[in-house]
Chain A
């Protein structure tokens, strides 16, 4: 039972991180029907930014809480700026081009950013400081839950709630929903569609950066390549849940996280990715639009 709980919580941790990344994929796809392959790199850049900021602040002798807060905020802002800029440089000029062009541009951006960080930093794994302190009250349960996991759950839940509020009730959220449903009509009611797209990239990048900082401090190391794997997994999760659907991205991420965790725990850890993708194939055979996806009907 304890083993089960450990796997359950491990899966929840993975799922939470996937969800933070998958949100960006699914929101961007919902609005401009583009798979932003550079999204995983945003997550990686978020983690690196936090690493650098926390390194500097540690040298300056700041206390742990201040370091984690400031490092996270800087990482979020920096990554959001990256997301905004990537859209402006790599996707906006191709807005009316065939979809394949933007996709290739996205892959190019992803490779560019990976190699840029590789050159600027190093290809080695760098140790990431343990930003999250061990909580005393978790001591008795330390066999199956770490305090960083608890923080990951809490932060992810808070981000989801915030995002739900943003999309359901705010003006920009309504504009985002309208733009996702009919871009031309959105502009005809006076919505600045370009602004909505920018905001979508900013929000998606910010949540990915939060995921990056959390996972790096949970695992304790990072390199330039972490965005690629995590990005692909989160993309799978978004497709699994139904790309374009926000609750779908969260659900897909949790399902993927648990699948990986339980299969690794009970069957074999060598086949972790095999199970993840096998599961994706199975779901897509029976629900091509994903778990919560809407199947596109032709408009008449």
Chain B
């Protein structure tokens, strides 16, 4: 479904991705783990067009998407839950959800999706008329996920959804990730520093170090891999 071929991306003159290859198949949860500054977020930003790759190819459903603008890429069915949540602080919860459905015109099914989201996260229904910036971190994360879901994405990119959240909330977020994948068959590309949780929920994983993919395997194998356990799982 998504394929990165020898992608090289730069921030100014700094090369953040030194030629990476990643493949995500339909219906999978793929996780990309690695230390701070390994290039995980840049990988997602390259896919969604915010940091366009300087060379290499990115294919979505077999079509090249590198070089498209972010809004074009979104219209193909790729949504992102960005790092730091990036809720529109002065828009209400409802308006934030509306923005997620910006490219859709089907009012009736938008309404249905909002109901589905309020079922998934009842707290958002309670806070529907509150400004996004007044929500707690966990609520904002739920809103960020919901906003991305409002686009009915075929591929959901998630950047550190567990960052800075309380353990119970983290647990809930990962349950939701699995649920979204199982119920809607949404393909998920998950970037995480919380390697343990991420590998538990994912089917396959990639490991990144300083701009390169150094290992890829099924999530179960990575979980039991001695090197990974030492480096990323703290065992």
Contacts and interface: CB of A to CB of B under 8 A. Distances in A.
A189 B99 contact: yes
B99 A174 contact: yes
A283 B107 CA distance: 46
Interface residues of B, number: 25
Given A174-B95, A174-B98, A174-B99, A188 B88 contact: no
B32 interface: no
Which of B71, B75, B95 has the most CB atoms of chain A within a 10 A radius of its CB?
A: B71
B147 interface: yes
A187 B50 contact: yes
Contact of A192 (B48, B69, B90, B98): B69
B151 A181 contact: no
B116 interface: no
Interface string A153-189: 0000000000000000001001101100110111111
Interface residues of A, number: 18
B30 to A, nearest CB: 19
Contacts of A191: 71, 99, 102
A225 B89 CA distance: 41
A193 interface: yes
Contacts of B125: none
A189 B50 CA distance: 12
A136 interface: no
Contact of B70 (A175, A177, A178, A187): A187
B34 interface: no
B35 interface: no
A178 B86 CA distance: 11
Interface of B: 48-50, 69-71, 74-75, 79-80, 82, 84, 86, 88-91, 95, 98-100, 102-103, 147, 151
12 contacts: A178-B99, A181-B91, A185-B86, A186-B99, A187-B69, A189-B74, A189-B102, A190-B71, A190-B75, A190-B151, A191-B99, A193-B71
